[in-house]
Amino acid sequence: MTRTLALVQWTLRPDRDDDAPPLTHRFRCLTLTDDDSECGAVSEPHTDPVDAQAWTFRHLRDHPEHTSYAEVIERPWVMWRGGRA
């Protein structure tokens, strides 16, 4: 995506540089509790999605009624000056 702001052209792109933060996966528990609020428990971020998925089984073991989850993927992006005209 490219936009021109104050006569400076900026481009937004996924950050795949060697020093970019890693893409990470987490899981969050979506199960509603007795007061209809979300459990909200969240795994640590992992670069391997299988490691993040393993957290859901540990959470289910401790909370057998918690069966609904969302995967949260964090992908680094970066703005840089220039790009295609």
Distance CA 45, CA 38 (A): 19
Between 23 and 41, name the residue whose CB sits nearer to Zn ion. Answer: 41
66 binds Zn ion (CB under 5 A): yes
Contact segment (CB under 5 A) with Zn ion among 3-11, 22-30, 46-54, 70-78 equals 22-30
Instruction: Identify the three-state secondary structure at position 3.
Output: strand
Residue 25 CB: number of other CB atoms within 10 A? Answer: 19
C-alpha gyration radius of the chain: 19
Nearer to Zn ion, 41 or 72 (CB): 41
Interface with Zn ion (CB under 5 A): 29, 31, 39, 41, 63, 66
